[in-house]
Amino acid sequence: MKKIIAAASAMAIACSLASCSAKEKETKETEKKTIGISMPSQSLERWNSDGSSLKAQFEKAGYSVDLRFAEDNADKQNEDISGMINDGADLLLIAAVDGNTLSDTLVQAKDKEIPVVAYDRLIMNTDALTYYVSFDNLTVGKLQGEYIRDQLHLMSATNEYNIEFVAGDAGDNNARYFFNGAYDTLKPYIDKGTLHILSGRNTFEQVATKDWTTANAEKTMKDTLASYYNDGKSLDIVLCSNDSTALGVENALDSDYKGGNTPLITGQDGDLANLANIVDGKQSMTVYKNVHDEAAVAFGVCKMLLDGSIPTSKLAESFGDIKVNYDSESYNNGVRYIQSYLLVPYVITKENLQLLVDTGVFKWDSENKYLEAAE
C-alpha cells in the first residue's frame, strides 16, 4: 500500500513538474522579444519614414519596439543605445549618426550577446556588429555620375563645363561611398579638361556637408557662387549627394546665381520638396532608395536572428520583387568584413515619376502634377 501511495505521489510530482515546465516553455515562447531601433534624426524626412516603417513591421509580427531618434547627436545616440541594452533589448538595429563613435557602447551589447545590425550606415571599428543592411552606396554615386555623363554626352563632348560637388556628412561612412562613386565616374572628364571645378574642391573632405543639412549646403553654395561665379561664369552642374543638400543648393541658386542657365543638379532619397523641384525643372534627378524595401529586408534579417537562425546568402533570394545582393567582401568596418544585404537603387527623373507612385509610397496630387505621400 505504501508503495502504491509513494508511486502515486511521485507521479503527481512528476506531472506537476511537467505541467510547470510546459507552462514555462509556453510563457517563454509567447513572451514578446524587444528590438531596439536607433535612428539618427527626425529632421530628415527619410528617417521618419524608416523609423515608422520598421516599427510597424516588427509590431505587426508581435515584437515590442523601442524606437528612439538621436537628434543628430552622437552622444545622445550612445546614451539611447546604452538605455536599450540596460532595458533588456534582444536585438539592436542602428542607423548611426556617426559610425565611428559607437564601438565602446557596443561592447556592452557583445558582452550580453545582443545581436547588432547596422541599418543604412556602416558602424565602424567594432566586432559587435553582426550584419549590415543598406543600399549599394557606391552605385548611388555611380548613377549620379553616369546621369551627368550621359546628359551632357561627355564621352564625345567638345564643349567644356563647370561642375561643383556637394557631399554628405563626414561622419557618415556612406557619404564617402556616394562621393567616390560619382567622382570616379566623372574623373576621366575632369582629367581631360571637359569638366572644370573652379573652386578647386575635389576631395571628399573639402565638399562634405555637416549633418547633411539644407542650411549648411545653402551657405556653402552661396559662398562658392560669391567666390567663383560672380563674374558671369556659368555653373553647369552641381553634383549633390542627396536631396537635403540639393535643396540647399537650389535655394542658393534661386537667390544668388546670376548665370542665365539652369545647372544640372543631382540628388538622392526622393524627398517631396525635391520631387516638386524635379517637376519644376530646378532639379534634374534623384536616386531613389525605397526605404520600405530596405525596412523589409532589415526586418527579414532581424527576425531570423531573433528566432535563433543565422542569415546567409540564401536570404537575399527570399524578398520577392525586392532586388537584394548578398556581399561579404566589400564592406570592412576596420575590424572585419561585414556580411551585407545591399538593395539596388534606381534613377528618377521627371519622365518616370510614375515609378514612385507604383511603389505605393507616393501618389499624384489632385491635379496630377506633383507627388505627395500616399499614407
What tens digit of pLDDT does each residue of 252-308 get? 999 999 999 999 999 999 999 999 999 999 999 999 998 889 999 999 999 999 999
What pLDDT, on the 0 to 100 scale, is given for residue 171?
85
Confidence class of residue 21 from pLDDT cuts 50, 70 and 90? very low
Angle between helices 214-228 and 243-256 (to 10 degrees): 40
Round to the nearest angstrom and report the end-to-end CA distance of the chain: 74
Distances from the Cα of 321 to the Cα of 12, 119, 238, 359, angstroms: 56, 20, 33, 11
Q: Check residue 49 and give its pLDDT.
A: 84
The confidence score (pLDDT) of residue 298 equals: 97
Q: Is the pLDDT of residue 137 over 80?
A: yes
Return all residues near 38 (Cβ < 8 A) that are at least 6 apart: 68, 70, 77, 80, 81, 84, 92, 93, 94, 95
pLDDT value at position 4? 46
- Whether residue 22 has pLDDT greater than 60: no
Please name which of 262, 254, 264 lies closest in space to residue 221, comparing C-alpha atoms: 254
Q: CB neighbours of 81 closer than 8 A, spacing ≥ 6?
A: 36, 38, 92, 94, 102, 105, 106, 109
Q: How confident is the model at residue 10 (pLDDT cuts 50, 70, 90)?
A: very low
Residues 6+ apart with CB under 8 A from 187: none
| % of residues, the chain, pLDDT over 70 | 92
Pairing of strands 371-373, 264-265: unpaired
The string of pLDDT tens digits covering residues 65-105 is 999 999 999 999 999 999 999 999 999 999 999 999 999 99
Q: Hey, CA dihedral for 209, 46, 177, 197, is it positive or negative?
A: negative
Q: In this structure, what C-alpha cell is assigned to residue 212?
A: 547633411
What average pLDDT score do residues 330-336 get?
A: 93
Is residue 30 scored above 90 in pLDDT?
Answer: no
Q: Tell me the average pLDDT across 119-148.
A: 96
| pLDDT, tens digit (0-9, with 9 covering 90-100), for 216-247 | 999 999 999 999 999 889 999 999 999 999 99
Average pLDDT over residues 303-325: 94
Comparing CA positions, the residue from 179, 157, 154, 161 lying closest to residue 229 is: 161
Do 73 and 97 contact (CB within 8 A), yes or no? yes
Q: Per residue in 185-208, pLDDT tens?
A: 999 999 999 999 999 999 999 999
**Nearest by Cα to 129 from 101, 110, 108:** 110
209 and 167 Cβ atoms separated by less than 8 Å: yes
Which cell numbers hold the place of 308?
535563433
Q: What is the pTM of this model?
A: 0.78
Which of 15-19, 148-152, 226-230, 323-327 shows the lowest mean pLDDT across its residues? 15-19
Closest-CA residue to 161 (of 260, 259, 236, 264): 236
344: buried, middle or exposed (CB in 10 Å: 19+, 13-18, 0-12)? middle
Name the pLDDT band for 23 (thresholds 50, 70, 90).
very low
Please report which confidence band the pLDDT of residue 45 belongs to, taking 50, 70 and 90 as the band edges. Answer: confident
Q: How confident is the model at residue 32 (pLDDT cuts 50, 70, 90)?
A: confident
Minimum mean pLDDT among 9-13, 164-168, 217-221, 253-257: which range? 9-13
pLDDT at 43: 82
